[in-house]
Amino acid sequence: MSLLDRRASGILLHPTSFPGRYGIGDLGKCAYDFIDFLVGARQRYWQILPLGPTGYGESPYQCLSAFAGNTLLISLDDLAERGWLDRTALDAAPEFPQRVDYGAVIAFHNEMLEIAYQGYLAKRTPEDQEAFAVWLRKSAYWAQDFALFMTFKEAHALSEWTRWPKDERDYTRAVTKRDALRERYEEHLFRQWMFYTQWGALKQYANERNIEIIGDLPIFVAHDSSDVWSKRELFFLDGAGMPPVVTGVPPDYFSQDGQRWGHPVYTWAYHQKTGFAWWLSRIRAALELVDVVRIDHFRGFWDYFEVPATDLLTTKNGRWLDGPRDALFNAVAGDVMPRIIAEDLGDNMGAVIAWRERLGLPGMKILQFAFGGSADEQRLFGPDRIEPNAVVYTGTHDNNTTLGWYKGDADDRSRANMNASFERLCEQWVQQHDTPAFEFAGADLETPTWKMIRLGMMSGGNTVVTPLQDLLAVDASGRMNRPGDPDLSQNWRWRYTDGDLTDGLRDLYRKLTEYHLRAE
């Protein structure tokens, strides 16, 4: 039975968006407070973006590893409580802006993590050492390669691995240098242990309170990653380790020139010869961190779009090729399938959606797409047409916030369609459930954001997930990502502030959840 088989709801929020003193959200007190908010609002799900360590541009969809965690999320307060980090060092933290300033955040957090590692070495107990050793035995299959990759990357001013000296570009030769780099290598292992330890404690706290975490697994991995460096055979590369073709999508809603993502494509024939061993280990690892996993760009398993690597500004010269299709999912364990959400968005998706339905996987419905665009979009995403086996969103990390969409992106017809749909579904809900119209003292529920949220709640989809930006009625300044925009300076930076998660908001969302029969 799938976790998504009953009516429930949740909130989409990446951990970097928590408030806090140190410039970026982390796995400390604010994360636990957010779980408490979900419990108080009678939610079932917390959805996140990928948790991996980010590279250039800080996109969680371009990570330095498919397995490692983002160590910027490590709670520095927790390290201080363990006695490994002096509280006076944290008290001297600079005044960070509300939006994430990644340059300043990375410099400060790296300094604190270096101090904490030295504190660990000086004060570790036998119990600490045993816990570290147990984690490493379990995680060695990816953690050792990642730690060595990061050690070399730091030694070469964070340059891409294809620019390293020849004997370090070659993984087999590079491994022989591990002992000479032991201290820095082991510090990277320490950081990963701390990330996994803190995340495990947070997940346990959530699960004990009946909150399930929906994770996000990008289908592709970055070229500049430990996975590609250490396992070149899994990817289509030339003799120098460079990809002749890269991933992308053709021109679409987000970009007239298409999007050149730049990941290497998989050598699917090789993966199939191994029984898809790397993919199975990747999915298993993801499902140890989360309860349900959304596979981003699920379409790539059906067919994927490759672009000549030399085409930097357009994807118009790309082509579609078949993915592994059933061969991969025949290898996935049966008990894993109910824990997968397939991101099935995009143009010309008829065959992909039919395949996804045959696999029995839930897809995604984005309400912003329901009120403008083509008749096909209105049919696919209309809230009164959504089937139970779907996860419904007002928008995603790639969309504008609902308020930003309503005020800036939507035209008069789209706004009118949304308002008419809201009135129609409210009337139907009252009639079908023989209940009074929903009211909440002091709340203006006629705003665009609450109308869109309620459209999701009234829909037939079993699972509804609302970005926190929409619950807070944040305008376009809260948008997480702008696909296809070459200016990366504003992406992945939004954070809410202390005091945003008020008792009034919690109570309103709880009552709304109860009214629409989604309460836990």
> For 324-346, how does the pLDDT look when each residue is reduced to its tens digit (9 = 90+)?
999 999 999 889 999 999 999 98
Q: CA nearest 112: which of 17, 19, 18, 22?
A: 22
pLDDT tops 70 at residue 435: yes
State the Cα–Cα distance between residues 419 and 271, nearest whole angstrom. 49
291 falls within a domain? yes
Selecting among 303, 398, 507, 514, the annotated active-site residue is 398
Q: Domain range spanning residue 125?
A: 8-515
State the Cα–Cα distance between residues 21 and 96, nearest whole angstrom. 7
pLDDT tens for residues 218-257? 999 999 999 999 999 999 999 999 999 999 999 877 678 8
- 398 tagged catalytic: yes
pLDDT tops 90 at residue 16: yes
pLDDT over 70, % of the chain: 99
Q: What is the mean pLDDT of residues 159-172?
A: 96
Give the CATH number for residue 160.
Answer: 3.20.20.80
- Average pLDDT of the chain is 96
145 falls within a domain? yes
State the Cα–Cα distance between residues 385 and 296, nearest whole angstrom. 23
User: β-pairing, 259-264 with 245-249?
Assistant: antiparallel
* Total-model pTM: 0.97
- 119-123-128-132 Cα dihedral, nearest 10 degrees: 40
pLDDT tens for residues 346-398? 888 999 999 999 999 999 999 999 998 778 888 889 999 999 999 999 999 99
Q: Using DSSP, how many helices (H) and how many strands (E) does the chain show?
A: 19, 12
pLDDT tens for residues 313-326? 999 999 999 999 99
State the Cα–Cα distance between residues 71 and 413, nearest whole angstrom. 45
Q: What pLDDT score was predicted for residue 190?
A: 98
Coil, helix or strand at residue 114: helix
pLDDT tops 90 at residue 486: no
pLDDT tops 60 at residue 411: yes
Please report, for residues 13, 35, 393, 501, the alpha-carbon distance to residue 40 in angstroms, rounded to integers and kept in the order given: 17, 9, 21, 11
Give 140's pLDDT tier (boundaries 50, 70, 90): very high
2 falls within a domain? no
Instruction: Return the HEC string of 155-204.
Output: HCCCCCHHHCCHHHHCHHHHHCCHHHHHHHHHHHHHHHHHHHHHHHHHHH
DSSP structure class, residue 472: T
Selecting among 77, 168, 212, 296, the annotated active-site residue is 296
- Cβ contacts of residue 429 below 8 Å, gap of 6+? 435, 458, 516
Q: What pLDDT score was predicted for residue 252?
A: 77
Sign of CA dihedral 295, 476, 38, 433: negative
Residues 471 and 509: beta-carbon distance below 8 Å: yes
pLDDT tens for residues 39-89? 999 999 999 999 999 998 999 999 999 999 999 999 999 999 999 999 999
3 falls within a domain? no
Please report, for residues 87, 99, 116, 151, 352, the alpha-carbon distance to residue 91 in angstroms, rounded to integers and kept in the order given: 6, 20, 15, 29, 53
Q: What is the mean pLDDT of residues 167-176?
A: 95
Coil, helix or strand at residue 434: coil
State the Cα–Cα distance between residues 51 and 33, nearest whole angstrom. 19
Structural domains counted in the chain: 1
- 296 tagged catalytic: yes
Sign of CA dihedral 418, 419, 425, 426: positive
106 falls within a domain? yes
For residue 399 the two structure tokens come to 């969309």
1 falls within a domain? no
269 falls within a domain? yes
Q: What is the mean pLDDT of residues 493-500?
A: 97
Q: What is the mean pLDDT of residues 252-280?
A: 93
Selecting among 343, 344, 470, 520, the annotated active-site residue is 343
Q: CA nearest 213: which of 287, 124, 103?
A: 287
Give 123's pLDDT tier (boundaries 50, 70, 90): very high
Give 484's pLDDT tier (boundaries 50, 70, 90): confident
